[in-house]
Amino acid sequence: MRQKWYKVPLMKIAIVLIAAGMLINVGGGLASAAEKVVITKTYELLEEAAYISYELEGYDGSFGSSMRMPDGRVVSSAISTKKTDSAGVAYWTNAYSVKSAPKGKYVFTIHAPKQSYYNLKIDLPLFSDVSVHWARAAIEAFVERGILSGYGNGRFGPNDAVTGEAFVKMAVLSLTEELPNGNRQWQISFRWRVTDEEVSKELSFLEYSFGAGDGAVHWSQPYIKAANDLGVISNWTEKDFALPFKRKDVALLAANIMRMVKAEDKPSSFTDVKRLSVEYQNAIGLVSNYSIFNGYPDGTFKPDNPVTRAEAVAILTRLTEFLK
């Protein structure tokens, strides 16, 4: 038997679809009525930034969004990504990042599944090349303390090798504090832990001015002198300090400082340090035993590899915590 077809007025079809929660999409296909819910979020950037990132998040299902820049340009994002928060609840996010971000209003348009609250997170890192770096928090903390700075144009260079003189400067500044007269003095929390009472007393009288000076002295000399006052400078030469510091040298300098507060030496278990002098072996064993400076999962330390700026910050962060 042939199936009979019935003509149904287009208006009735539309009514049926609307009743079912759907709408006719004139441009072709069907679209959910929920897609008609539009939510906007606005953020005004008061100053130009080398890098800024935004993240939209909501808990009511997948959504789409777009970002309108201060110059009117619109950037569309792909459909949101599903994630799970610490309580195991699912939520969805869309992220945007802008390099050389101009100041002005950034408007975010969210095509939501239903009327709901959406959160806009703003992340404004100090440097564009550390926004997702593992050492970002430590780097920004050191920058805020004036221990080091970037290269300009929003770049820090976390993977660049650190020279010996730069590492000594960072170490000295991380162990000193600024006085009302602008000079710096060894931190009380460090001095009081120094086991040699005479040395501890002497350190309390020392003050340093690390200004630019008259240009007759190389910029690193005041910092190297301060480190020498601690008695932690080994047999490094001026040439050594000008070159990238190797992992074994950073370990030795850190170990020399740690021994001032009664850190105990332990033999190194790394497979590639046996050829080094006993001084280096003991230093590497000490810093690794206290988790100040660790080796690699394969059981090596790679003593001759250079230390990066990010690694230097991480090492000194752990070292100063240990000394306190």
Instruction: Note the pLDDT of residue 23.
Output: 31
Q: How many whole angstroms separate alpha carbon 222 and alpha carbon 134?
A: 31
Q: Which helix (H) or strand (E) holds 77?
A: none
Residue type, 284: I
Give the total residue count for the chain.
324
With H, G, I as helix, E, B as strand and everything else as coil, classify residue 28. Answer: coil
pLDDT of residue 213: 53
The reported pLDDT for the residue numbered 252 is 97
Read off the tokens for 95. 């992220």
Question: For the chain, how long is the longest CA-to-CA vector?
Answer: 111
Please give the Cα distance from 106 to 71 (Å, whole number).
9
Which pLDDT score, from 0 to 100, does residue 266 have? 81
- Which pLDDT tens digits describe the chain residue by residue (324 residues)? 443 333 334 333 233 322 333 332 323 333 344 456 999 999 999 988 888 999 999 999 999 999 999 999 999 877 899 999 999 999 999 999 998 899 999 999 999 999 999 999 999 998 989 988 999 999 999 999 999 999 987 899 999 999 999 999 999 999 999 999 989 999 999 999 999 999 999 999 999 998 755 555 789 999 999 999 999 998 899 999 999 999 999 999 999 999 999 888 888 889 999 999 999 999 999 999 999 999 999 999 999 999 999 999 999 999 999 998
